[in-house]
Amino acid sequence: MQDGLLYSPIILGPIALIVALALYFRIKSLPDGNETMNRIGTYVREGSMAFLTREYKVLFVYSLVVMALLAYALGVIAAGSFLLGAFLSLLAGFFGMKAATFANVRTAQAARMGSKPNALLTALDGGAVMGLSVAGLGLLGLGVIYLVFRGTENVGTVLHAFAVGASSIALFARIGGGIYTKAADVGADIAGKVIENIPEDDPRNPGVIADNVGDNVGDVAGMGADIYESMVAAIVSAMAIALTVDETGLAKLASGAVTAAPVDLRWWAVSLPLLLSTLGLLISLAVIFIARLMKNGDPASVLRTALLIPPVILTIASAILMPMFGLSQGVTIALAAGAFGGGIIGLVTEYYTASTPIRLIAEACLTGAGTGVIRGLAVGMESIVIPMAVVAAAAGIANHYLDLYGIAIAAVGMLAGTAVVMTVDAYGPIADNAGGISEMAGLGKEVRDITDELDAVGNTTAAIGKGFAIGSAILTVLALFSAYNMEINHVRQLAGKGALILQLTDANVLIGIIIGSILPFIVGASTMTAVGRAAGAIVVEIGRQFREIPGLLQGKAEPEPGRIVDIATVAALKEMIFPGTVAIFSPILVGFILGPAALAGTLAGSLAVGATLALFMANAGGAWDNGKKYIEKGKLPGHKKGSDAHKAAVVGDTVGDPFKDTSGPGVSILIKVMGVVSLLIAPLIARFWL
């Protein structure tokens, strides 16, 4: 019976995909508005797909190289598993983004027909295609490779390679997409507002299409790859610990009831992460359908409730199931620590990006852009305190009951609602795109009001979703870190050597910590610079079009958006190489040149710096963005849109753009990539240094 449970991910995964497909066709069948809307929608969709196609070509070459290396170092099976992990990520991104680029124009059309509920539903369905694809493909892939390879000695390596495949794609998709979206956004904004003095989303601005394309390739495709990777890494790290933990550690998983029949604890430890995530997907599916039924309600509360429910239900379900399986309620407590921790982080993030802090930023803009930027930086710094403390507390609680395996289970608990988190995350850019299309097609204020409201809701709930994502990333890295160490010691033990001493005062560890602390800054600096450089190129091209295309400024001629899309695409693909390479190769270099202890230190140093820096940048960026919107909504008496205070707030928003959508996400994924790469190469390093 027990073994039958392992079929659940490979049954539920396809079901989620079928539902996604049904939603996809439903969206496609909806009316797509007038001819102008249709044309703009097609521009955006074609631009997005063109980027994705060219990005996938680059990633294909990269994957072939890595596959060859993996086949040489770890065997053909590991190479195949890497490819599967990578391919499923690409598939989810492709499918989800295609749906999003159909949904955007149809959301605008629903708003044009005056139906807010239908507009909400269309955007939500568009997001759900991505959400269900990500979770469905992730669980299906992991479920299949575990079913096939369980019991073989390869199972650990195969799982790790799958995670590295997922991580590598996420890394490049997130950084490439992040550079694209912010280069286009900043470039179009600067050219439009500063140089040509035309409003945002104005159809004369040739950069506006690229800006909308950016939302899709960055916030839909990039984010999808990121969340897919989070889920895969959390599950794999828990399974990796379960595969190598000793009997004493396993014993904590037993229910402890005297009447309990003996259970196969190893089987359960390895299977639980997969089974609990499958249960999470089942709950998420239900929640997505309940949310669809509530389309007439207040969009903000619908989405917020949807985000917070899956972890709670999963915890309750676990409390009922664990005794039935003869397992400790420690599992439930670890899950709950992660689930509620994620919720608290989300709400704190929302506070810092939507409440008093943004009023303070807006007020600081009264004395100029400098003080506005200072206040936003301070808000971003302060905003990391509670989330990091919550992660520490969740890790402490989970560790108390189940040691390091508990920390991994907490990460799984935090990601229980992956499908819903991704749905809400992808909903945001769809609503944002719908607004842009309405503006470009000149649909009028009533339509824009609906899309604006949906967009604003998306901004807030995105903060909650980000909370789950980053909190789980930190817990996952802690788990990966432990799994790495266990893997090293496993190899040493087989070779008759004692366990590796990772004494914190060991000079190698300390030097590793210093090296690790550098890496997030390299990724942060290079991505910020990349956005600046690419945005500059876009500004130049927009200026050229306004100069050289007669009648463009008067609205009598068409811009050439394709040129801008092309510049952004080439720049993003070129600029993502360096930070991506740093992320993937630094653990390999440190591990082989300085040894396993230095690599452990490097992971710890990059975790400490990367987690705080990523949170800081994401939240400062969100706070500046909303501080600007606070003034635009007229909430700062006497200082509306166009005032000096507003101009000052726009500066903060510009700084925040690469902070929150390029560098912050890039740094957060850096630490995860380093973790999974280290785990994969751990046996090689261990043997090299025997």
Cβ at position 625, least distance to a second copy in Å? 12
Q: Which is nearer to a second copy, 147 or 522 (CB)?
A: 522
Q: What residues have CB less than 8 Å from 507, skipping those under 6 apart? A: none
Q: Quick check: 482 binds a second copy (CB under 8 A)?
A: yes
* CB contact at 8 A, 50 and 565: yes
Given candidates 302, 539, 568, 571, which one binds a second copy under the rule CB under 8 A? 539
Stretch that binds a second copy, among 76-84, 131-139, 523-531, 670-678 (CB under 8 A): 523-531
Place of tokens 């079009």: 545
Hey, is 229 helix, strand or coil? helix
Q: What residues have CB less than 8 Å from 9, skipping those under 6 apart? A: 139, 140, 142, 143, 274, 275, 277, 278
Q: Quick check: 474 binds a second copy (CB under 8 A)?
A: yes
C-alpha to C-alpha distance for 455 and 448, rounded to whole angstroms: 10
Stretch that binds a second copy, among 113-121, 197-205, 444-452, 535-543 (CB under 8 A): 535-543
The tokens of 436 are what? 């842009």
Q: Which is nearer to a second copy, 493 or 529 (CB)?
A: 529
Q: Which is nearer to a second copy, 109 or 663 (CB)?
A: 663
Return the closest-CA partner of residue 267 out of 326, 182, 204, 201.
326
Cβ at position 371, least distance to a second copy in Å? 6
Q: Quick check: 608 binds a second copy (CB under 8 A)?
A: yes
Q: Quick check: 600 binds a second copy (CB under 8 A)?
A: yes
Q: Which is nearer to a second copy, 52 or 615 (CB)?
A: 615
Hey, is 441 helix, strand or coil? coil
**Alpha carbon 236 to its chain's center:** 17
Q: Quick check: 589 binds a second copy (CB under 8 A)?
A: no
Cβ at position 192, least distance to a second copy in Å? 12
Q: Which is nearer to a second copy, 45 or 646 (CB)?
A: 646
Residues between 380 and 419 that touch a second copy (CB under 8 A): 381-382, 384-385, 388-389, 391-392, 395-396, 399, 403-404, 407
C-alpha to C-alpha distance for 28 and 38, rounded to whole angstroms: 13
Q: Which is nearer to a second copy, 319 or 366 (CB)?
A: 366
Cβ at position 195, least distance to a second copy in Å? 8
DSSP state of 254: B
Cβ at position 345, least distance to a second copy in Å? 13
Stretch that binds a second copy, among 33-41, 291-299, 524-532, 559-567 (CB under 8 A): 524-532
Q: Give me the 488-507 binding string for a second copy, x by CB under 8 A, dash otherwise.
A: -------------xxxxx-x
* CB contact at 8 A, 215 and 181: yes
Stretch that binds a second copy, among 209-217, 268-276, 433-441, 479-487 (CB under 8 A): 479-487
Asked whether the CA dihedral 290, 294, 298, 299 is positive or negative, the reply is positive
HSE-up (13 A, CA, CB side) for residue 250: 17
Q: Which is nearer to a second copy, 55 or 363 (CB)?
A: 363
Cβ at position 578, least distance to a second copy in Å? 12
C-alpha to C-alpha distance for 172 and 679, rounded to whole angstroms: 19
Q: Which amino acid is at 625?
A: D
Q: Which is nearer to a second copy, 463 or 611 (CB)?
A: 611
Q: Which is nearer to a second copy, 105 or 509 (CB)?
A: 509
Given candidates 94, 521, 578, 592, which one binds a second copy under the rule CB under 8 A? 521
Q: Which is nearer to a second copy, 371 or 643 (CB)?
A: 371
Cβ at position 486, least distance to a second copy in Å? 8
Q: Which amino acid is at 85?
A: G
C-alpha to C-alpha distance for 113 and 294, rounded to whole angstroms: 19
DSSP string, 620-682: HHHHHHHHHHHHHTT-STT--TTSHHHHHHHHHHHHHHHIIIIIHHHHHHHHHHHHHHHHHHH
Number of residues that bind a second copy (CB under 8 A): 79
Cβ at position 184, least distance to a second copy in Å? 14
HSE-up (13 A, CA, CB side) for residue 257: 15
Cβ at position 58, least distance to a second copy in Å? 24
Q: Which amino acid is at 182?
A: K
Residues between 242 and 271 that touch a second copy (CB under 8 A): none
Cβ at position 256, least distance to a second copy in Å? 21
C-alpha to C-alpha distance for 662 and 171, rounded to whole angstroms: 11
Residues between 288 and 317 that touch a second copy (CB under 8 A): none
Stretch that binds a second copy, among 317-325, 328-336, 463-471, 531-539 (CB under 8 A): 531-539
DSSP state of 218: I
Q: Which is nearer to a second copy, 286 or 518 (CB)?
A: 518
Residues between 609 and 648 that touch a second copy (CB under 8 A): 609, 611-612, 616
Q: Which is nearer to a second copy, 457 or 513 (CB)?
A: 513
The tokens of 253 are what? 């998983």
Q: Which is nearer to a second copy, 528 or 669 (CB)?
A: 528
C-alpha to C-alpha distance for 657 and 666, rounded to whole angstroms: 13
Q: Which is nearer to a second copy, 396 or 634 (CB)?
A: 396
* CB contact at 8 A, 142 and 232: yes
Q: Give me the 650-669 binding string for a second copy, x by CB under 8 A, dash otherwise.
A: xxxxxx--x-----------
DSSP string, 265-296: HHHHHHHHHHHHHHHHHHHHHHHHHHHHHTTT
Residues between 40 and 69 that touch a second copy (CB under 8 A): none
Q: Quick check: 516 binds a second copy (CB under 8 A)?
A: yes
DSSP state of 262: P
Neighbouring-strand partners of residue 327: 254
Given candidates 515, 571, 623, 674, which one binds a second copy under the rule CB under 8 A? 515
Q: Which is nearer to a second copy, 33 or 596 (CB)?
A: 596
Q: Which is nearer to a second copy, 364 or 680 (CB)?
A: 364
Q: Crossing angle, helix 299-325 and helix 265-293, to 10 degrees?
A: 150
Residues between 150 and 209 that touch a second copy (CB under 8 A): 186, 190, 194
Q: Give me the 340-379 binding string for a second copy, x by CB under 8 A, dash otherwise.
A: ------------------------x--xxxxx-xxx-xxx
C-alpha to C-alpha distance for 368 and 633, rounded to whole angstroms: 19
Cβ at position 410, least distance to a second copy in Å? 12
Stretch that binds a second copy, among 43-51, 67-75, 478-486, 568-576 (CB under 8 A): 478-486
C-alpha to C-alpha distance for 154 and 165, rounded to whole angstroms: 17
* CB contact at 8 A, 515 and 601: yes
C-alpha to C-alpha distance for 545 and 548, rounded to whole angstroms: 5
C-alpha to C-alpha distance for 92 and 543, rounded to whole angstroms: 37
Cβ at position 200, least distance to a second copy in Å? 14
